Structure 1
Amino acid sequence: MLLVQNILVILVSFSYLISAEQQNKYEVYQKLQQDLESMKFENEARFKKTDTKISNMEGRISQQDEIIRKQQELIKRLQRNQELQKHTRQVSVQKKVALTYRTSGDQSSLGADHTIKFDRRITDVFNSYSSSTGIFTAPVGGYYAFVLDTRTLPGRICWIDAVKNGVPIATNYMEAPSGQEDSETSFAIVRLDTGDQVWVRNKVYHGHSCGLDDLANFSGFLLYQDL
């Protein structure tokens, strides 16, 4: 608006300059020069104020950007802390499963698919093995390790499997010469869902009668639980 007014002033001054008498033209010219100088100073002052406002706005925008950046960093730290706390809670409630059982006496005549019952409890942290059925039942899902150690009666041939839900996961094959024993140890790592079962059974090998002494033992433990 002020620029329009300045232009109008210039136009009016020129018009007056053209129509003025010769003696007044010099005075009008001086007045026009003064008006132009005044307009120049006013415009320079206005531009300076505008530059100052723009500079101030840029400064405020820069401050806002810095605030936003710090807030984003804070949000990321909070998210990492929440994830760490969640993981810590999950680890803190992880169940502990560990067991070792042995047989209390010789088992001289084992039939086909006969479940071998380890009835001497050494340790069972979660009470997950039943000595009456010979079955371990997984209390939680995760990865488990099992160790099967067996020894035959003299002169016996045995094929002993550790099975998960009926599927073999480890095998002890022993062939003892007459008058001597033979022993075998196997190890397996397997993933179990909650409720999966593991047990040890005899597999008749070519009709041979298997017999185990009282040194057989079965152990297992939870490596890590599903999160």
Structure 2
Amino acid sequence: MKTMVAALALCLLYLPVYQASSIDIDKKFEEMEARLTKTEKELMDHKQMTESQKNDDILRDLEAKLKDTEKQVEDLRAEVQAFHGQDVAFGASLGLDTHFGPFTAAITVTYKNVFTNIGSAYQPGTGIFTAPVKGVYYFSFSANHRSTKISGLYLMKNGKQMISMYNDSAGNSLETAANGMTLQLEVGDQVYMRLWANSWIYDNPNNYCTFIGFLLFSL
């Protein structure tokens, strides 16, 4: 009997300890569950923030690409406008009612009667055409003369002879000749006509003597 009482007393003694331990464990579980829930929430918040940052990065990338595309469109528009703004063509005649020449040395011919001068690249005061844009140009010229003297013209590019025209001095009649050529020019290249030494050309209101040039296409 004494032994049973002692055992019962011992159980009663340890019961509060067990209960206390059980309560501590439950509390720790609750704390751990709370911490886990908090961690999961932080993880979700971080994930959402990361997705938001990714979206922001994607948006910034798209905005940059859009700006780049807009710049390319503007550059293309400027190129188109520049191309159409550089249309070049001129046509002029000698603008005399008499002979031009002869001279003892070759001389640049000034075609002062200007019919058209789109781009203002031809200067009637000097007779010189200056290329405003790199490209391929076409030039032609014609001349009339009284054949008691020879008639000769050079098409010049930067001081170098390109092509020429010649009429003999036989007879005593008005004769006409012409020539033309395509030339590749750089910006600033100069093209003009030179009258041969000791030759002449003749013009009147019929405009026999002409100098023509225009841009075929830019390069």
**TM-score normalized by the length of structure 1:** 0.63
Q: Look up the equivalent residue of 2:185 and give its one-letter code.
A: V
User: Offset at 1:95?
Assistant: 5.5
- The counterpart of 2:154, out of the listed 153, 160, 176, is 160
Shift of residue 107, structure 1, vs aligned partner: 4.5
Q: Indicate conservation of the 8 Å contact 2:140/2:178, yes or no.
A: no
Query: Does the 8 Å CA contact 2:86/2:133 hold for their aligned counterparts?
Result: no
Give the alignment of 1:153-192 within 5 angstroms.
156=150, 158=152, 160-164=154-158, 166-168=159-161, 170-174=162-166, 183-192=178-187
Structure 2 portions without partners, runs of 5+: 1-8
**Aligned pairs for 1:47-196 within 5 A:** 47-82=36-71, 84-85=73-74, 88=77, 92=81, 94=85, 97-104=88-95, 107=100, 109=102, 111-137=104-130, 141-143=132-134, 145-151=137-143, 156=150, 158=152, 160-164=154-158, 166-168=159-161, 170-174=162-166, 183-193=178-188
Contact 2:89 / 2:215 at 8 angstroms: preserved in 1?
yes
Cα deviation 1:53-90 (Å, max 9, x = unaligned)? 11122112211321232133224323443554466467
Q: Tell me the alpha carbon deviations over residues 91-116 of structure 1, each in whole angstroms, 9 at most, x when there is no partner.
A: 65735543101234655636543112
Q: Distance in 2 between matches of 1:176 and 1:39?
A: 122
Equivalent-residue separation in structure 2 for 1:131 and 1:163 (angstroms): 17
- Residue pair 1:150, 1:216 contacting (<8 A) in 2 also: yes
Change in 2 beyond 3 A, CA 1:167/1:211:
same
SS at match of 1:142: coil
Deviation for aligned residue 1:175 = 6.8
Report if the CA contact (8 A) 2:91-2:210 is conserved: yes
SS of structure 1 residue aligned to 2:109: coil
**Aligned equivalents of 2:80, 2:155: Cα separation in 1:** 33
Query: Partner of 2:107: helix, strand, or coil?
Result: coil
Which residue identity is paired with 1:161?
Answer: L
Structure 1 residues 134, 72: CA separation in 2 closer, same or farther (over 3 Å shift)? same
- Three-state SS of the structure 2 residue aligned to 1:46 is helix
Specify the SS of the correspondent of 1:60.
Answer: helix
In the alignment, the residues of structure 1 paired with residue 86 and residue 178 of structure 2 have an alpha-carbon distance, to the nearest angstrom, of: 33
**Which residue does 1:16 correspond to in 2?**
none
Aligned amino acid, residue 155 of structure 2: D
Q: Identity of paired residues, percent?
A: 19
Partner secondary structure for residue 192 of structure 1 = coil
Preserved contact between residue 101 and residue 201 of structure 2 (Cα < 8 Å): yes
Task: Quickly say closer, same or farther: Cα 1:173–1:22, change in 2 above 3 A.
Answer: farther
